[in-house]
A and B are shown apart, each in its own frame.
Chain A
Amino acid sequence: MEPGEIHALLGENGAGKSTLMNVLYGLYQPDEGEILVDGEPLKLRGPSDAIGAGIGMVHQHFMLVPVFTVAENIMLGAEQVRGGIAGFLDRRRARREVTEVSERYGLRIDPDAVIEDLPVGIQQRVEIVKALTRDVDLLILDEPTAVLTPQETEELLTVMRSLKAAGKSIVFITHKLGEVKAIADRITVIRRGKVVGTASPEASRDELAALMVGRSVRLTVEKAPATPGRPVLEVSGLVVDDDRQVRAVDGVDLTVHAGEVLGVAGVQGNGQTELIEAIMGLRPALAGSVTLDGERIDGWSTKKVLRAGVGYVPEDRSVDGLVKEFSVAENLVLDMYDRPPFGGGLALRPDAIAESAKERIAQFDVRTPSAEAPVGTLSGGNQQKVIVARELSRPLKLFIAAQPTRGVDVGSIEFIHGRVIHERDVGTAVLVVSSELDEVIGLADRIAVMYRGRIIGVVGPDTPREQIGLLMAGVSPEVAAEQAGDASESGTASADAPRNEDEA
């Protein structure tokens, strides 16, 4: 690392980026090897050593105490105190310091605001200010854009540029190629815990992706134009509350036709989860209706919905999708265990289950030591393939996939995307929910953008990313179209500008 450099650390999920940085921040202890700072080996016994050495880190999951104020969070661990051994907090000084640092770098925050009342983008700003008040020279940002809207991401990139101008070095961990190309001075690619190469930001997206996964992959999903048929799923006026009894879905209307993929885009937590759970009968609908091929299914049990020909890939596979301790074969029949040929009466038919497992493991390319291995021992991608295999083994009218490729390696992503499109092509209605905009754009024939419990707009897949991004941020469709137009006309450098050309 050099002073005033933005160094991107690129790698797939699980490649070891975060682990490496946690070692650098002193949270984990290295088994071997050493860290050099200014040519001196550095021994980190804990985060305070790292902070002392001028290393700061913004974690993927923010390290902020939700019920504390901004100032309290920032002073924690490095409190200014008065009164000797009693150690009274000097709040005025802390507040002043926060204001000072935030003004110096143009990161406006209110020191007295309580964290849990702040939007995610601002919380991240607090994290950055927290690191800066500790006089760090090297700032590690771990997947900082994962939770941000495109607009917030744009702001973050601006902040990073101004930090760089102030002589700070930044390590920027991500798996998003567009951002890397927009901001990095140097790129290091990590795969399976090893540095596999360095690149300059001029390298093309395909080159970087190939380095990341070890072979060249297609970034776009190849598919023929859709031939939508009859409406299969019709949702109208749906209202759903979340676990805290707060309105999460607030009057959603959606139609998914046979033979098309409807993608639901949106920043996480805008009601997508609750929408899908309501359709699946996992969460009560307070108003509105859900019909499948003209038949009302709201109020049905989940089992009945599944039996009616709905396939469902839940967003959190380890909690809702699989029983980790069960074998691959058992997980493959979780939906069908009580029906022939797998079971009936009181007994299961192990031979039929084993047979079908073998078949589907081959068919869906599940890499597992055996059908009897507990599913929890498989990699994320292969676990996901087990779920997809299970859900696609029934005749379906509707296939719902929530975050189908979260935490899944690129090879499996490609495979799963292929299966989704295949399902569409045989005439199933497909509903895909994803917080990865690329995935939605790649898969969907129509894109519905969800914001604060409503569908704020439905657009085609060839819509500029900026416009979808503005919709995700809650800007109304007309305004979004206008603003996105302005931005491209005035030639504002956008992180994702090249991407549109690739995909157009």
Chain B
Amino acid sequence: MSTMAVPDVAVAPVDEGFWNRNRKVGLVLLALGLIAAVLFGALATDQRARFTLSEDAAGAALEINGTFGAILFGVVALAAGAALLAGLPKRWFLTVLGVGLVAFVFSFLCWQVSAAPAGQNFMPLVNIIRGTFILALPLIFGALAGVLCERSGVVNVAIEGQLLMGAFSGALFGSISGNVWVGLVAAAIGGAFISLLLAIFSIRYLVDQVVMGIVLNLLAVGVTGFLYERLMQTNTERYNSAPRFSNWEIPLLKDIPVIGPALFRGNIFLYLGLLLVLVIHIALFRTRWGLRTRSVGEHPTAADTLGVRVLGLRYRNVLLAGVVAGIGGASYTLALYSFTKNMIGGKGFIALAALIFGRWNPTGALLAALFFGFADQLATYLSTINSVIPSQFLAMLPYLATILAVAGLVGRVRAPAADGKPYVKG
């Protein structure tokens, strides 16, 4: 018998070495901080940058010298990056990263606001926050619809169509009935109708889910566009003048400085969206329904062997997603605008991006949606103060962020394992 001497083969768990993810992120943050402190600091003027705290431009405000502020916040971001680079415990990671990024944004704002034309060098925080949430709202509903679908294993590219159909049927039936609640229910049914088609074709007939989603988006654009021209435009008074939800002021909360006027004097959709994030998050991770949904999205065969009804659950979740997205569509037509052709304008796809950026997690999706909403709002604001930054650059941010997220730069992004795969028994 011939044996060979072999060195110790014990294999240690994969060691990331010095350059683990936290350190890489720290390095990037450090570089951002440096850019902020040096570049923004140099570009900022000695004007005061005012961040007003109420809706009155002359009212209470936080003031800071532009150059000083840009450098100060840049240094904070730099310090946060350095802290990550030095190797903080993992539990501090998110907090420090958050502080660093916010500081970077403030450094940028100090520059922009101080460099604005005289008389305009103030930033109305209340309006910015309110605008961020309003712009993020369809993204929040859309991304939640994505979460519901995709966690159970059905890819939802049809978010755009669900939002649009919701907006349309909300406007139409709200107008006909003259009742916002009827409109809201109709919007939910409209979104669910698109979902039903998605469910039947992808679950029952095993059509490729991405293709089906795209087809449904086109269908929704076509159908609503046709009816808009033939029906709504011929008699706007009767078919496209839905009543709107009035703003509800929430006692006590509405008096909180900045946050109160920004968030707690809004309409039902804002409260509903935030509530849904909370409810879906808890339901997904704490309840029987959530456990089963996730199991069906990850390993449907395993769920089936344990008596979970895979297809039934998928139907239910896809329909639920349609209801949520439909209500999201109504947040346009039953609160802000009357219906116009293709009024969602790609927000459904940004919602999809928020879903991925938020790692298929309701809270993550909320944060992603808010980030995208903020980028959008900031673009509008910068164009009003004649910024040197082209607003298109900010409009690109959501997509850029999503590409970075999908490329794995913000940690492992992993879709549910069975996402997009039809389940066939046996």
Q: Is A399 positioned at the interface, with any CB of B under 8 Å from its CB? A: no
Q: Which of B220-277 contact A (CB under 8 A)?
A: none
Q: Is B58 positioned at the interface, with any CB of A under 8 Å from its CB? A: no
User: A86 vs B283: C-alpha distance in the bound complex, in angstroms?
Assistant: 8
User: A408 vs B222: C-alpha distance in the bound complex, in angstroms?
Assistant: 55
Asked if residues B306 and A65 are in contact (CB atoms below 8 Å), the reply is no
Asked if residues A477 and B4 are in contact (CB atoms below 8 Å), the reply is yes
Asked if residues B4 and A457 are in contact (CB atoms below 8 Å), the reply is yes
Q: Is B118 positioned at the interface, with any CB of A under 8 Å from its CB? A: no
Chain A residues contacting B11 (CB-CB under 8 Å) are: 452
Q: Decide yes or no: A81 and B294 within 8 Å by CB, A454-B9, A476-B6, A477-B3 being known contacts.
A: no
The residue that B307 contacts in the complex, of A28, A46, A460, A478, with Cβ under 8 A, is A46
Q: Is A487 positioned at the interface, with any CB of B under 8 Å from its CB? A: no
Q: Decide yes or no: A48 and B287 within 8 Å by CB, A454-B9, A455-B6 being known contacts.
A: no
User: A51 vs B308: C-alpha distance in the bound complex, in angstroms?
Assistant: 12
The residue that A47 contacts in the complex, of B283, B299, B305, with Cβ under 8 A, is B305
> Which one of B4, B10, B283, B425 has the highest number of Cβ atoms from chain A below 10 Å of its Cβ?
B4
| Chain A residue with the shortest CB-CB distance to B301 | A63
User: A81 vs B304: C-alpha distance in the bound complex, in angstroms?
Assistant: 20
Bitwise interface map of A from 29 to 64 toward B, beta carbon under 8 Å scored 1, else 0: 000000000000000001110010000010100111
Q: Is A87 positioned at the interface, with any CB of B under 8 Å from its CB? A: yes
Q: Is A72 positioned at the interface, with any CB of B under 8 Å from its CB? A: yes
Bitwise interface map of B from 279 to 293 toward A, beta carbon under 8 Å scored 1, else 0: 000010011111110
Number of interface residues of B (CB under 8 A): 34
| Chain B residue with the shortest CB-CB distance to A251 | B7
Q: Is A393 positioned at the interface, with any CB of B under 8 Å from its CB? A: no
Tell me the minimal C-beta distance from B309 to chain A in angstroms: 8
Q: Decide yes or no: A454 and B6 within 8 Å by CB, A27-B304, A63-B305 being known contacts.
A: yes
Bitwise interface map of A from 86 to 101 toward B, beta carbon under 8 Å scored 1, else 0: 1111000000000000
Q: Is B5 positioned at the interface, with any CB of A under 8 Å from its CB? A: yes
Chain B residues contacting A62 (CB-CB under 8 Å) are: 302
Q: Is A147 positioned at the interface, with any CB of B under 8 Å from its CB? A: no
Asked if residues A476 and B306 are in contact (CB atoms below 8 Å), the reply is no
Q: Is A474 positioned at the interface, with any CB of B under 8 Å from its CB? A: yes
Tell me the minimal C-beta distance from B278 to chain A in angstroms: 13
Asked if residues B298 and A458 are in contact (CB atoms below 8 Å), the reply is no
Asked if residues B291 and A79 are in contact (CB atoms below 8 Å), the reply is yes
Asked if residues A76 and B306 are in contact (CB atoms below 8 Å), the reply is yes
Asked if residues B4 and A77 are in contact (CB atoms below 8 Å), the reply is no
Chain B residues contacting A477 (CB-CB under 8 Å) are: 3-6
Tell me the minimal C-beta distance from B339 to chain A in angstroms: 36
Q: Is A346 positioned at the interface, with any CB of B under 8 Å from its CB? A: no
Asked if residues A458 and B4 are in contact (CB atoms below 8 Å), the reply is yes
Bitwise interface map of B from 1 to 41 toward A, beta carbon under 8 Å scored 1, else 0: 11111101111001000000000000000000000000000
Asked if residues B6 and A65 are in contact (CB atoms below 8 Å), the reply is no
Chain A residues contacting B304 (CB-CB under 8 Å) are: 27, 47
Chain B residues contacting A454 (CB-CB under 8 Å) are: 6, 9
Q: Is A481 positioned at the interface, with any CB of B under 8 Å from its CB? A: yes
Q: Is B426 positioned at the interface, with any CB of A under 8 Å from its CB? A: yes
Q: Which of A119-161 contact B (CB under 8 A)?
A: none
Q: Is B395 positioned at the interface, with any CB of A under 8 Å from its CB? A: no
Tell me the minimal C-beta distance from B234 to chain A in angstroms: 46
| Chain B residue with the shortest CB-CB distance to A78 | B306
Q: Is A172 positioned at the interface, with any CB of B under 8 Å from its CB? A: no
Q: Decide yes or no: A457 and B3 within 8 Å by CB, A27-B304, A476-B8 being known contacts.
A: yes
Tell me the minimal C-beta distance from B147 to chain A in angstroms: 16
Q: Decide yes or no: A77 and B307 within 8 Å by CB, A451-B9, A460-B2 being known contacts.
A: yes
Q: Is B303 positioned at the interface, with any CB of A under 8 Å from its CB? A: yes
Chain B residues contacting A47 (CB-CB under 8 Å) are: 304-307
Bitwise interface map of A from 10 to 38 toward B, beta carbon under 8 Å scored 1, else 0: 00000000000010010110000000000
User: A78 vs B291: C-alpha distance in the bound complex, in angstroms?
Assistant: 11
Q: Is A75 positioned at the interface, with any CB of B under 8 Å from its CB? A: yes
User: A474 vs B2: C-alpha distance in the bound complex, in angstroms?
Assistant: 18
Q: Number of A-B pairs whose CB atoms are under 8 Å? A: 109
Q: Decide yes or no: A89 and B295 within 8 Å by CB, A462-B1, A477-B3 being known contacts.
A: no
The residue that A481 contacts in the complex, of B3, B291, B307, with Cβ under 8 A, is B3
Q: Is A220 positioned at the interface, with any CB of B under 8 Å from its CB? A: no
Tell me the minimal C-beta distance from A239 to chain B in angstroms: 14
Asked if residues A65 and B299 are in contact (CB atoms below 8 Å), the reply is yes
Asked if residues A456 and B298 are in contact (CB atoms below 8 Å), the reply is no
Q: Is A246 positioned at the interface, with any CB of B under 8 Å from its CB? A: yes
| Chain A residue with the shortest CB-CB distance to B14 | A246
User: A27 vs B425: C-alpha distance in the bound complex, in angstroms?
Assistant: 8
Asked if residues B295 and A65 are in contact (CB atoms below 8 Å), the reply is yes
Asked if residues A457 and B286 are in contact (CB atoms below 8 Å), the reply is no
Bitwise interface map of B from 179 to 197 toward A, beta carbon under 8 Å scored 1, else 0: 0000000000000000000
Q: Is A67 positioned at the interface, with any CB of B under 8 Å from its CB? A: yes
Chain A residues contacting B5 (CB-CB under 8 Å) are: 477
Q: Decide yes or no: A459 and B3 within 8 Å by CB, A86-B287, A89-B288 being known contacts.
A: yes
User: A246 vs B13: C-alpha distance in the bound complex, in angstroms?
Assistant: 12
Q: Which of A428-454 contact B (CB under 8 A)?
A: 446, 451-452, 454
Chain A residues contacting B9 (CB-CB under 8 Å) are: 451-452, 454, 456, 474, 476
Q: Is A500 positioned at the interface, with any CB of B under 8 Å from its CB? A: no
Chain A residues contacting B64 (CB-CB under 8 Å) are: none
Q: Is B417 positioned at the interface, with any CB of A under 8 Å from its CB? A: yes
User: A321 vs B6: C-alpha distance in the bound complex, in angstroms?
Assistant: 34
Q: Decide yes or no: A68 and B294 within 8 Å by CB, A458-B2, A477-B6 being known contacts.
A: yes
User: A338 vs B5: C-alpha distance in the bound complex, in angstroms?
Assistant: 46
Asked if residues A459 and B291 are in contact (CB atoms below 8 Å), the reply is no
Asked if residues B291 and A89 are in contact (CB atoms below 8 Å), the reply is yes
User: A443 vs B425: C-alpha distance in the bound complex, in angstroms?
Assistant: 39
User: A72 vs B302: C-alpha distance in the bound complex, in angstroms?
Assistant: 12
Q: Which of B378-426 contact A (CB under 8 A)?
A: 417, 425-426
Tell me the minimal C-beta distance from B264 to chain A in angstroms: 27
Q: Is A204 positioned at the interface, with any CB of B under 8 Å from its CB? A: no
Q: Which of A454-475 contact B (CB under 8 A)?
A: 454-460, 462-463, 474
User: A73 vs B303: C-alpha distance in the bound complex, in angstroms?
Assistant: 9
Q: Is A66 positioned at the interface, with any CB of B under 8 Å from its CB? A: yes
User: A51 vs B11: C-alpha distance in the bound complex, in angstroms?
Assistant: 40
User: A77 vs B288: C-alpha distance in the bound complex, in angstroms?
Assistant: 9
Chain A residues contacting B307 (CB-CB under 8 Å) are: 46-48, 51, 77-78
User: A394 vs B3: C-alpha distance in the bound complex, in angstroms?
Assistant: 35
Q: Decide yes or no: A63 and B299 within 8 Å by CB, A25-B305, A78-B306, A476-B6 being known contacts.
A: yes
Asked if residues A27 and B426 are in contact (CB atoms below 8 Å), the reply is yes
Asked if residues B2 and A456 are in contact (CB atoms below 8 Å), the reply is no
Chain B residues contacting A451 (CB-CB under 8 Å) are: 9
User: A27 vs B306: C-alpha distance in the bound complex, in angstroms?
Assistant: 10
> Which one of B11, B286, B304, B305 has the highest number of Cβ atoms from chain A below 10 Å of its Cβ?
B305
Chain A residues contacting B426 (CB-CB under 8 Å) are: 22, 27-28
Asked if residues B3 and A59 are in contact (CB atoms below 8 Å), the reply is no
Q: Which of B137-188 contact A (CB under 8 A)?
A: none
Asked if residues B3 and A458 are in contact (CB atoms below 8 Å), the reply is yes
Tell me the minimal C-beta distance from B240 to chain A in angstroms: 39
Chain A residues contacting B287 (CB-CB under 8 Å) are: 81, 86-89
Chain A residues contacting B291 (CB-CB under 8 Å) are: 72, 75-76, 79, 89
User: A93 vs B209: C-alpha distance in the bound complex, in angstroms?
Assistant: 38
Chain A residues contacting B286 (CB-CB under 8 Å) are: 88-89
Beyond contacts A65-B302, A66-B298, A458-B4: 20 other A-B pairs, Cβ-Cβ < 8 A, are A28-B426, A47-B304, A51-B307, A63-B301, A63-B305, A65-B299, A66-B417, A68-B295, A68-B298, A76-B291, A76-B292, A76-B308, A77-B307, A88-B288, A455-B6, A458-B2, A459-B1, A463-B1, A476-B8, A481-B3
Closest A-B pairs by Cβ, 9 of them? A48-B307, A77-B306, A63-B302, A87-B288, A477-B3, A79-B288, A65-B299, A63-B305, A65-B298
